[in-house]
Amino acid sequence: MAALLEVNHVSKQFGKDTKALKDVHFSVAEGEFVSIIGPSGAGKSTLLRCINRMVDATSGEIIFDNRNVLDLKKKELKTIRTKIGMVFQHYNLVNRLSVIENALHGKLGNKSALAGVLGLYSIDEKEEAMKILNALGLADLIYKRADQLSGGQKQRVGIARALLQNPRMLLCDEPIASLDPGSAKVIMDHLKNISTNWGITILVNLHQVDVALKYSDRIIGINNGQVVYNGSPKNLTKDDIQLIYGSEAEDLIFDVGGIHAS
Amino acid sequence: MEANEQMTNVSSATDPFLKPYPDKRLKSRAWNKSLVVMRTTLLLLTVLTVYAFVSFDYKEVDFKEAALGTLTNIKVMFLEPHLKHFTFLQAVHQVFVTLGLAFLTTLFGGLIAVLLGLLAAENLSSRRVSLLIKGLVSFIRAVPTVLWVLIFAVAAGLGSVAAVIGMTFHSVSYLVKAYSESFEELDRGAIEALQASGANWWQIVFQAVIPSSLTYMISWTFLRFEINFAVAVAMGAAAGAGGIGFDMFMASNFYLDIREIGAITYFILILAILLEVFGAGLKKKLKVNG
């Protein structure tokens, strides 16, 4: 499998002396499901946002689909962004619009400005939206307003919006951090399904180590802006977790062996 | 105070985190800068008010007589109103002319203000453009509407044209502030999500920003419409813009007919109440859908 995304020696500095990312280096193959774990403030969100340039990295290079994202001009950047879907912790839907309108927002990047402004979508686009909403179990809710949905439903709309971009890759910024365990499982199952059946690469920030172990093909551990672990979930040891989360976390985090056994 | 002291004693005795309080009096609030400024302002205002009342030059006004005279005037105005120089239907027509003036200026103002409001919102535009527009509109807003009408009357001549331009001018500045603030209060998330999907600025504005702030925009616009109605009445008199305001001006300054003023006031009052009722209904409906 060829590498779809390569992050080479990327650093990000906020202000004079806040280093959010320090020489981050990894690559992601097409179709892979990669989890990024690490304590709050370690730079997970910054890293994801550097990839689609919602945040500009200070140095290094990010190669997506053989192009360096950091060199792109405004117009090319928009084209690349349409190929990278993003899912957020707080869903980031437009509350006053319906489910289907929110989902169709994924199509805006591929439309002419005027059609997008007026919200004119073709029959094909609407049917595609219906298909995806159906696959995510939202078929009965398409005309409901986004703010009437539960958290899990909102997140599924967020995923539908990202999928309607026909993306090569999904960036998920803590997609289940605000959800109850039941809804979280539904969301993670959908993401896993998208990865295996649709062949879309998934890069997901997670807080829950057990979830990361269960779902991902590979885990990247980040602490203090640096990659401290990069490998298969099977090889993740207690020592690695201590390295990622610091020694204080040792007591809080369950027995890794137990998780592997289950 | 005693209770306070007891509280401190108890807590310092039982709570190991609290060291014994050094001062005996426990203050309920800290004297910070804002409190000092507020207190000083209030004190100054009180002193000035008292001074003003003491130092008034009352001349030989007989308070009793003056009060009685005013009451008689009010009685004649509101209890014996009549129409002499125009008919009821003409009055209704003139009220609608005034309403039209208010509507037109709000419409023009609203359309221009949406565009400028987007540019003035810091989250949608650059900081420099935002500051420039905000500075400009706050200057325009600081000058009263009447003055703008009179300024434009230099070019357009006294009349409805000057009134429309001047009132539009002031409406724009008012609505730009209202709109841009409601845009700025918007949740950044939805904008971020659309940016990340490759949508362009216009698409983000029309698909996320405006749908989310529509309720605010409508209620601000309606408020401005009510203000513009009141201003339009005054403009009818001050700038000869026509409408019921001009009839009022004629009745008071030309015919000196206080009863007719009463009748006209009733017309304006009824319309203002209707607008208020309509506005309240609109807001209620928006809240249900909002």
State yes or no: pLDDT of B5 exceeds 50: no
Q: Which of A82, A94, A171 sits opposite B211 (nearest CB)?
A: A94
Same domain, A59 and A100: no
pLDDT at residue B284 is higher than 60? yes
Predicted local distance difference test score (pLDDT) of residue B2 = 47
Same domain, A74 and A174: yes
pLDDT mean over B241-262: 89
Contact between chains at B192 and A81 (C-beta distance less than 8 A) = no
- The per-residue pLDDT for B63 is 82
pLDDT score recorded for residue B98: 93
Six-digit token pair at B244? 């019921």
User: Domain of A29: which CATH number?
Assistant: 3.40.50.300
* pLDDT tops 50 at residue A262: no
For B202, the closest chain A residue by CA position comes to A117
Average pLDDT over chain A, rounded to whole?
A: 89
CA distances from B175 to B134, B151, B275 (A): 11, 21, 19
Determine the Cα–Cα distance for residues B89 and B109; give it in Å rounded to an integer. 30
- Of the candidate ranges A179-183, B83-87, B94-98, B120-124, the one whose mean pLDDT is the lowest: B83-87
Q: Is the pLDDT of residue A215 over 60?
A: yes
Domain finish residue from A166, A181, A200:
A166
Measure the CA–CA gap between A170 and A173, rounded to whole angstroms. Answer: 10
Give the residue, A176 or B187, on which the prediction is more confident: A176
Per-residue DSSP letter, B23:
S
Give yes or no: residues A180 and A79 share one domain: yes
Q: What is the pLDDT at residue B84?
A: 84
Residues A26 and A124 in one domain: no
> Is residue A88 situated within a structural domain?
no
Residue A243, pLDDT score? 86
Instruction: Please tell me the predicted confidence (pLDDT) of residue B20.
Output: 59
The whole-number average pLDDT for the span A228-257 is: 76
| Radius of gyration, alpha carbons of chain A | 19
Q: What are phi and psi of A9, to 5 degrees?
A: 50, 45
Q: Which residue has the higher pLDDT, A89 or B240?
A: A89
Residues A102 and A133 in one domain: yes
Q: pLDDT at position B55, please?
A: 86
Which pLDDT score is estimated for B184?
Answer: 92
Range in A145-154, B104-113, B228-237, B238-247 the model is least confident about: B238-247
Mean pLDDT, range B108-115, rounded to an integer: 96
Question: Is residue A90 one of the residues assigned to a domain?
Answer: no
Picking from A157, A143, A165, A218, the residue whose alpha carbon sits closest to that of residue A186 is: A157
Which band of pLDDT confidence, cut at 50, 70 and 90, is reported for residue B158? confident
**pLDDT value, residue B70:** 92
- Opening angle at CA B172, ends B167 and B173, nearest 5: 105
Q: What is the mean pLDDT of residues A118-123?
A: 90
Model confidence at A258, pLDDT cuts 50, 70, 90, reads: very low
Residue B7 has pLDDT above 60, yes or no: no
Q: Is residue A149 in some structural domain? A: yes
Q: Which of A142-156, B15-29, B33-47 has the lowest mean pLDDT?
A: B15-29
Task: Give the distance from residue B176's alpha carbon to the nearest chain A alpha carbon, in angstroms.
Answer: 21
Choose between B57 and A37: higher pLDDT: A37
The last residue of one of the domains, among A166, A188, A217, is A166
Question: At B188, is the pLDDT very low, low, confident or very high (cuts 50, 70, 90)?
Answer: confident
Concatenated DSSP letters for B163-214?
HHHHHHHHHHHHHHHHHHHHHHTS-HHHHHHHHHTT--HHHHIIIIIHHHHH
Which residue range is the domain that position A139 belongs to? 95-166
Percentage above 70 pLDDT, chain A: 93
> Are A108 and A23 found together in one domain?
no
Residues A172 and A256 in one domain: yes
**Closest Cα in chain B, distance from residue A240 (Å):** 33
pLDDT at B143 over 80: yes
Whether B13 has a pLDDT exceeding 90, the answer reads no
Q: What is the tally of structural domains in chain A?
A: 2
Beta bridge partners of A29: A3
The answer, for A86 touching chain B at a CB cutoff of 8 Å, is yes
pLDDT of A161 reads 95
Task: Check if B22 contacts A (Cβ < 8 Å).
Answer: no
Shared domain check, A231 and A210: yes
Average pLDDT of B177-196? Answer: 92
Cβ-proximal residues to A246 (8 Å cutoff; 6+ apart), any chain: A39, A223
Q: Is the pLDDT of residue A84 over 60?
A: yes
Q: Going from the N-terminus, what domains does chain B have, and what CATH number goes with each?
A: 2-55 (no CATH), 87-289 (1.10.3720.10)
**B92 at interface of A, judged by CB pairs closer than 8 A:** no
Question: Based on the domain organization, do A101 and A205 belong to the same domain?
Answer: no
- A95 vs B contacts (CB less than 8 Å): 190, 212
Measured between beta carbons, the chain A residues lying within 8 angstroms of B193 are 86, 88, 92-93, 105, 158, 161
Confidence of residue A251 (pLDDT cuts 50, 70, 90): low
* A76 and A188 fall within a common domain: yes
pLDDT at A141: 92
Residue of A nearest to B290 (CA): A96
Residue A89 placed within a domain = no
A107 pLDDT above the threshold of 50 = yes
Considering A166, A201, A229, which residue would you say is the last residue of a domain?
Answer: A166
